[in-house]
Amino acid sequence: MSFIAFAIFLFLTAVALLHVLWGAGFRWPCKTDLELVSTVVGHKSDAMPTPNQCYLAALAIYVPGTIALMLAGLIDASVTASTLPLAGAACVLVFLGRGIAGYVPAWRERFPREPFATYDRLYYSPLCLLLAAGFTLLLINRSGV
C-alpha cells in the first residue's frame, strides 16, 4: 500500500504545484490566459481564476496527498484514530464525485470549453476515479478487511 500512497502523494503534489505556478502567473503548458482557461478550467468566462483561488485549489489538492501518506502509515497522523478514516472517506467521496461529474450533462453545460471538455472526459475524470479507487484501497488496507 505504500506504493499506492506515495504515487497518490506525488501525483497530487505535482498537480498542486501547477496550481501554485498558475497563481503566480505562469501559463504552462499554454501561452496565454485564454488558452489556459480553455485547457484546464473549461468555464465560459475568459478570465483565469485569481491567484488566491489558484493557491486555495493547490492546498485542497495537496492535503489529500498527505492524507494518503497517513493512511499508509508513512507519516505520523497527528489526528485521532477515528478522524483519519473519515478524512480518507472524504477523499474517496470528493474524487469519486469529481470523477463522475465529468460525465454528467449539467457539468458539461457549466464547463463546455474545448479542449477542456474532451480532456475532462479522457483524462481528468478518469484520473479522479483512479484516485478514489486508490483511497478506497488505502482505507480497506487500514481497516484490515
Q: Stretch 37-64: mean pLDDT, rounded? A: 95
- Sequence-separated (6 or more) residues with CB below 8 Å from residue 81: none
Give me the mean pLDDT over the 86-114 stretch. 96
Report in angstroms the alpha-carbon separations of 129 from 11, 53, 133: 14, 24, 6
DSSP letters of 45-79? -SSPPPHHHHHHHHHHHHHHHHHHHHHTTSS---S
- C-alpha cell at position 122: 479522457
In the chain, % of residues over pLDDT 70: 99
- Residue 79 predicted with pLDDT over 80: no
Q: What is the pLDDT of residue 124?
A: 97
Integer angstrom CA distances of residue 61 from 12, 81, 118, 135: 6, 23, 22, 14
Cα distance between residue 24 and residue 14, in whole Å? 15
The pLDDT, as a whole number, for residue 44 is: 87
Q: Report pLDDT digits (tens) over 12-38.
A: 999 999 999 999 999 999 999 999 999
pTM of the predicted structure, to 2 decimals: 0.92
Q: How confident is the model at residue 145 (pLDDT cuts 50, 70, 90)?
A: low
Mean pLDDT, residues 55-67 taken together: 97
pLDDT for 82 equals 80
Look at the chain and report how many structural domains it folds into: 1
Q: Which structural domain, as residue segments, surrounds residue 45?
A: 2-143
Q: Give the rounded percent of residues in the chain with a pLDDT score beyond 90.
A: 87
Specify the pLDDT at position 127.
98
